[in-house]
Structure 1
């Protein structure tokens, strides 16, 4: 076996470093930079989350105080891509509805329906259904309620559907919806009796 002298070994190392050393050093610099960049990104994310949460709290206080201009100012400062924006849109819809601006309330709720949080989405759909019913847009309200089947709002959905069908004059569907509800038995029995009474009268009108 041929042995290399220290001088030959040193020469091989120098050649190897000349050939590969720069790329290794660059790789190490990039690796260190990536770690540092990720830590900076984490820190920035935490800072942004903290700032958005603080703005959300301020927005909630302004909505409760019914300070319309202040709510709009705070909302304008919020990051539209932040996780909290869906909750902010629910709050803005509440402020608009409180001031009878149903069109603006529906706009905010329509945006909140696209939130990442499923609970925010369900809440937006539920409030939108109520506003649509309040505005006489019964088909639109029923469409939103259909999307809430199986959600945490399932029992309330059946009740609102019953009310909508009753207001539409669709007494058979109203009675069916009332029968499906689990809740205050006495209240539901009274409502169901009233609807069935209307239905019986409509089916068998009194003779002259």
Structure 2
């Protein structure tokens, strides 16, 4: 049944009151209230998603000419001061008004990457911790955790154990095993444990190969560890 106007709903209630009495009318009124409440919630959710999407698209248009934020972070020239101000403003707006959305998470991940490039490690750490505090999907959680671990190690080798603890708590699955094990190797190396670092790097190489990926940097890390090993005789 479709109710086209508030007047029609009022008339319906009057007719029901006349024909069936108060119990039925109260039941219908509660049903209508529930339906209206759900429709309002659904409309609000759609508006919030649209607003978050629009902010995110503005960010893309401003700094990346339509490419993804990951591509922009990897391949573009450094951001201008004006672009940085735009990033900061948009991320702040997304965090404040749409903090639970993936748009906010991805924008904050991009901000953290820019902060690392500018050697603002404490700021990058705070950005990544914000992402994790939102309890995002496993893919975003894994990405943020790995990056946070690497930021911690970059801040100080003394943070190696903290970084390792973050990575050990992850349950990312096979798809991310190479990335996680590679970061674990970095953490072990920061702790001075070359044997465990080598084991982690080898796991990373094997996982990458199992997924059909070529990670030459991992092999380079293994070669560097071999070169650092004490020579016999």
Same topology, TM > 0.5: yes
Root-mean-square deviation over aligned CA pairs: 3.0
State how far apart, in whole Å, the 2-side matches of 1:192 and 1:21 are.
82
- Equivalent residue for 1:161? 184
Q: 1:129 to 1:49 in 2, by over 3 A?
A: same
TM-score by length of 1: 0.72
In structure 1, stretches of 5+ residues that fail to align are 1-16
In structure 1, distance between residues paired with 2:225 and 2:22: 84
Q: In the TM superposition, what whole-angstrom CA distance separates every residue of 1:78-136 from its partner, at most 9, and x where no partner exists?
A: 22443233223212222322322111111111121133311111111011112112222
Q: Distance in 2 between matches of 1:157 and 1:72?
A: 28
Corresponding pairs, count: 186
Residue equivalent to 1:140: 162
1:29–1:192 CA distance, 2 compared to 1 (3 A):
closer
**Equivalent runs, 1:1-208 vs 2, <5 Å:** 21-62=21-62, 64=64, 65=79, 67-78=83-94, 79-84=97-102, 85-114=104-133, 115-136=135-156, 137-148=159-170, 150-151=172-173, 152-180=175-203, 181-182=205-206, 183=209, 191-192=221-222, 194-201=224-231
Please identify, of 47-56 and 158-167, the stretch whose mean Cα deviation from structure 2 is larger: 158-167
Q: Which runs of 5+ in 2 are unaligned?
A: 1-16, 65-78
CA gap of 1:93–1:179, structure 2 versus 1, over 3 A, is: closer
Q: Deviations over 1:50-74 (max 9, x none)?
A: 1111112223445654522222222
SS in structure 1 of the partner of residue 119 of structure 2: coil
CA displacement 1:146-194 (0-9 Å, x = unmatched): 1335533211222333344345432222332333332459876665454
| Number of the residue aligned with 2:68 | none
Larger radius of gyration: 1
